Amino acid sequence: MSNDAGKPQSAAVAFMVAGSAWFALGTIYGLFSAIHLMAPEFFNNIPWLVFGRTRPVHVNTMIFGFVANMLIGCALYYVPALLRTRLWSQKLGWIAFIFWQIAVLSGPVTFPFAITQGREYAEYVWIFDLCIMISLLTLVFNCVLTIAARRQNMLYVSVWYAIGALIWTAGVYPIGNVMWHPSSGALPGLIDSIFLWFYGHNLVGLLLTPLAIGAAYFVVPRVTRTPLYSHTLSLIGFWTLLALYAHIGGHHLLQAPIPNWLKSISVVDSMAMIIPVFTVLANVWLTARGSLSRLWKDPAGRFVLAGTIWYLIVGIQGSVQSLPAVQRITHFNNWVIGHAHIAVLGFSGFIALGAMWHVLPLAAGRRLYSHRLVNVQFGLALLGLIGFFAVLTAAGLIQGVGWYNGEAIYRVLPEIAPFMVLRAALGILIMAASFLGLYNAIRTLRGAPLRESESPLQEGPL
C-alpha cells in the first residue's frame, strides 16, 4: 500500500482488480452450491462445503466483492475525472479499499464455519458490518471533498449516481443490518423481515443500480463520442429511482403476514419502477443512437450495451413479478434465483465488467492486455447467463405451477433435477469468464503504458 498509495488512481485500480478476483472466487462458491443441488452427497459431511454455508459466501462475494468493488473502483476514477480534479485523498481511498476487502474476505473466512448472522444478504457479523460502514463513510467523505475541489462546475449525471449510491447505502446498510443490535443483527419478531427486505432490495436498488447506471452514463458517451441525449431525462431517472426504489422491499413479503398498506406501497412503486428504468435506458440508448456499431465493436462498450439490455429485461420482469397474481407462481422457487442472476450479473455485473475494461487502462495508465480476451469473456458470460436465466426460469415455473396445483415439494424435486445439472454446467462458462477477466486485468497492470493520445482526462463525456 505504501508505495502505491501516492500514485494517482491507485485506489480505483485496486478496487477494480479486487473485484475481478472476488468474481473468480464467487463463481467457485457458486459452483460448490450448484453441485450440491445436483448431487447432495458430492461433498458429504464436509462442514465448510455444506450448501447452507457456501451459498452465502457466493451471494455476498458477488454483491460486495465482485460488482460493488468493481463499480466503486470505476467511480473513484470517473468522479474526479468528470470534475477535472484528482481524488481528494488517495490514502483515504486505500483505507476505504482495505476495510471493504476485510468485510468481503470475512465471507469465505466466517460463513463456512457457521459464523454468520444468517439473514439473507446481511450475513456479515457486526464487526465486519462496521468495516463496510467505515469504508462507505470514508468514500462519501472523500467524494464530497473531491466535489468541493472540482474544477468543472457542472456535475455530470454519473457523479450524481456515484455520490447517491454511497450516501444512500450508508443509510441502508446500518438499518438493514440492525447494527444497534450487534450480537444478532436483527430485531425480534416479524418486523425484522421488513427491515431485512428494505435492506436486501436496496442493496441492489440503491447500491448496485445507481453505481451501474453511473458507470453506463460514463462509458457510453465516451465510446460513441456523442453528447448525452438529455439532461432532463437524467434528472427524472435519478430522482424517480430514489423516490420509488426505497419503498419496494415489501414485495419480497407479499405473501407473509405484514401490514397490507406496506404491501400496497411496494407493489405500486414496483410497477412505477418502469419510469426510472425506461428513462435511463432511453437516455443511454438515444445517446448512442446512430453509433451503436461503435458501442458494439468496443469490447467495453459491448459489455455495457449488453448490461443495459439486461436492465430492460430485469426491470420489466421485476415490476411484473411484484404483482400478487404473478407471485402466486413465482415466489419461493428458482424463478427468483434466475431474476437475481440477471440483476446482479446481467445488469450491474455486465456494466461493471464493461466499465472496468474501459476505465482500468485509463486509471492504471496501461494498455488493455487483450481485447480478444474481453470478447471471449463476454461470449462466455453472455452464453452462460442466458442459459442460466432460461434454465432457472423454467425450473421455477415447474416448481411454482406444480405447487399451485397441489404437488408436494418432494414430487417436484425430480422434475427440476435436469435443470440443476444444466445450471451447474452453464455456471462453469461464467466461472471461465471470471478467470479470463482476472488474468486479463492482471496482465493489463503489468503491460505496456498507455500512449499519449489515450490519456485519461482529455476526453470527457460531456
Partner 1 sequence: MKMTPALLVIGGIMVFWASVFIVIILPSIVWQEPPSAAWQPWSDDEAAGHDLYVRNGCSYCHSQYVRVMDWGEGAERIAQRGDYVNQLPAILGTERTGPDLSQEGGEHPEDWQIAHFINPRNTRPLSLMPSWEFLGMRDIRHLTAYVRSLGGKDATFRAQRQEEWKPQAADAYAGGPAANIQWLHDHVPAPWHPMPNPYPATDAALQRGHKIYQDFCAGCHGVVGDGNGPAKEFLNPPPLNFTELRDHLVGGQYIGGIFYYQVMNGITGTGMPYFKRELESEKIWDVSNYIAVDFVGYTDAETAPLGIDASYEPEWKNNYSLPGADEK
Residues 393-452 binding partner 1 (CB under 8 A) are 399, 403-404, 406-411, 413-414
Residue 225: what are its φ and ψ, rounded to 5°?
Answer: 55, 45
Candidate list 137, 187, 313, 450; residue touching partner 1; CB under 8 A: 187
Q: Does 148 bind partner 1 (CB under 8 A)?
A: yes
Q: Who's near 30: CB < 8 A, 6+ residues apart?
A: 58, 62, 427, 430, 431
Number of residues that bind partner 1 (CB under 8 A): 86
Q: Name 449's bridge partners.
A: 366
Between residues 198 and 311, which has the closer beta carbon with respect to partner 1?
Answer: 198
Q: Does 160 bind partner 1 (CB under 8 A)?
A: yes
Candidate list 13, 17, 35, 37; residue touching partner 1; CB under 8 A: 37
Between residues 41 and 452, which has the closer beta carbon with respect to partner 1?
Answer: 41
To partner 1, the closest distance from the beta carbon of 228 in angstroms equals 13
Q: Give the C-alpha separation, 244 to 84, whole Å.
A: 32
> What is the CB neighbour count within 10 angstroms for residue 162?
28
To partner 1, the closest distance from the beta carbon of 413 in angstroms equals 5
To partner 1, the closest distance from the beta carbon of 59 in angstroms equals 9
Residues in the chain: 462
Q: Give the C-alpha separation, 58 to 385, whole Å.
A: 16
Between residues 118 and 460, which has the closer beta carbon with respect to partner 1?
Answer: 118
Site for partner 1 in 325-364 (CB under 8 A): 328, 331-333, 336-337
Q: Give the C-alpha separation, 109 to 454, whole Å.
A: 41
Candidate list 1, 109, 191, 448; residue touching partner 1; CB under 8 A: 191
Q: Give the C-alpha separation, 283 to 235, whole Å.
A: 11
Candidate list 78, 198, 350, 389; residue touching partner 1; CB under 8 A: 198
Q: Who's near 440: CB < 8 A, 6+ residues apart?
A: 368, 369, 370, 373, 374, 377
Site for partner 1 in 226-285 (CB under 8 A): 235, 239, 242-243, 246-247, 249-250, 252-253, 255-259, 262, 265-266
If phi over 0 gives left and psi between -120 and 50 gives alpha, with beta otherwise, what is residue 124? beta
> What is the CB neighbour count within 10 angstroms for residue 154?
10
Site for partner 1 in 161-180 (CB under 8 A): 163-164, 167-168, 171, 175
Q: Give the C-alpha separation, 101 to 122, whole Å.
A: 16
Residue 256: what are its φ and ψ, rounded to 5°?
Answer: -100, 160
DSSP code for 84: T
To partner 1, the closest distance from the beta carbon of 198 in angstroms equals 6
Q: Does 127 bind partner 1 (CB under 8 A)?
A: no
> What is the CB neighbour count within 10 angstroms for residue 225?
10
From residue 76 to residue 115, what is the string marking binding to partner 1 with x (rule CB under 8 A)?
-----------------------------------x--xx
Q: Give the C-alpha separation, 269 to 209, whole Å.
A: 16
Residue range at the interface with partner 1 (CB under 8 A); choices 98-106, 192-200, 367-375, 432-440: 192-200
Site for partner 1 in 291-330 (CB under 8 A): 328
